[in-house]
Amino acid sequence: MSTIAVTGAASGIGAAVCQHLEAAGHTLIRVDLRNADVNADLSTAEGRQAAIAQTLEACNNRLDAVVACAGVGVTAPSIGLILGVNYFGVTEYLDGLEDALTAGCNGKAVIIGSVAGSHMVATPHPMAAAMLENDEAKALQMAEQSENPSAAYAASKYAVTVYGRRKSVEWGKRGLRLNIIAPGAVETPLHKASLDDARFGEAVKNFVAPMGRAGVPDEIADGVGFLLSDKSAFVNGSVLFIDGGMDAMVRTNTF
């Protein structure tokens, strides 16, 4: 059985992922702000380094997989926080665990992106470029000047997906696999906060997948289970949309 680090483990999709993986007999290292094995703030450079150090200690420098679920939505207290958690909190944590994954056998990672990221494929926001340059100071400066949390959220998810695609090419050559799941609306506290928000609630309520419902965290956890299993041994660098057809609805003639 495997040792797997899961960020955002205390709530929503991350909690469902933990439940599924634990039921399958894996050993988990739960990472979150609180109520976890590793309590750390992935929005700051210091917090990320602490999370990496504590994870490495907990797995004895040998890790089989990482599932990066931690994220904040459009109702986050600041736009900088959206970029800090959703992009840098994923990429710096994964980079810091790369050697531990290599030391394990057939290391794997899954990043929870979002269908929102694909909306930006044709014309990425300049904030996405700053993130992909790994220039956190520049990205945060742009965030300070922005008043559009939705664009920042989409940019963070676009950028983290591109990061994952780039990494998968490098990792594939080393026997590691990295895939991205792009969920549509999923019933979690993050989604509920958007629905309840006066600025975004109406738009979120009206943006419904062709299947006519939101997903539930277990449906995303099933996808994670597949991507970490040997059944997906030849799947690397993929973006798996678990979104009730939302991406197909928005980008019908492209893929």
Give the residue from 255, 194, 235, 186 showing the smallest Cα distance to 215: 186
Least Å distance between CB 110 and ligand NAD?
11
Radius of gyration for the chain, computed over Cα atoms and rounded to the nearest angstrom: 17
Least Å distance between CB 240 and ligand NAD?
12
Choice from 191, 200, 239, 242 touching ligand NAD (CB under 6 A): 191
Choice from 41, 95, 197, 222 touching ligand NAD (CB under 6 A): 41
The question of whether 87 is a catalytic residue gets the answer no
Which of 39/102 has CB closer to ligand NAD?
A: 39
One-letter identity of residue 19: Q
Q: Restricting to residues 107-126, which ones interact with ligand NAD according to CB under 6 A?
A: 112, 114
Give the residue from 191, 167, 177 showing the smallest Cα distance to 243: 191
33 binds ligand NAD (CB under 6 A): yes
Helical ranges in 87-125 per DSSP H: 89-103, 115-118
Sheet containing 239-242, strands listed edge to edge, beginning at the edge strand earlier in sequence: 38-39, 27-32, 3-7, 65-68, 108-112, 177-183, 239-242
244 binds ligand NAD (CB under 6 A): no
Choice from 4, 8, 131, 139 touching ligand NAD (CB under 6 A): 8
Give the residue from 204, 196, 208 showing the smallest Cα distance to 150: 204
Cβ atoms 164, 113 nearer than 8 A:
yes
Distance set, CA 213 to CA 11, 15, 16 (Å): 21, 21, 19
Which of 135/218 has CB closer to ligand NAD?
A: 218
Choice from 80, 104, 164, 183 touching ligand NAD (CB under 6 A): 183
Choice from 143, 185, 221, 240 touching ligand NAD (CB under 6 A): 185
Least Å distance between CB 156 and ligand NAD?
8
12 binds ligand NAD (CB under 6 A): yes
Separation CA 114–CA 112 (nearest Å): 7
Active site residue: 87, 93, 153, 158, which one? 153
Give the residue from 81, 74, 64, 76 showing the smallest Cα distance to 29: 64
Q: Supply the residues annotated as catalytic.
A: 153
The site for ligand NAD (CB under 6 A) is made up of 8, 10-14, 32-33, 41-43, 69-72, 85-86, 112, 114, 183, 185-186, 188-191
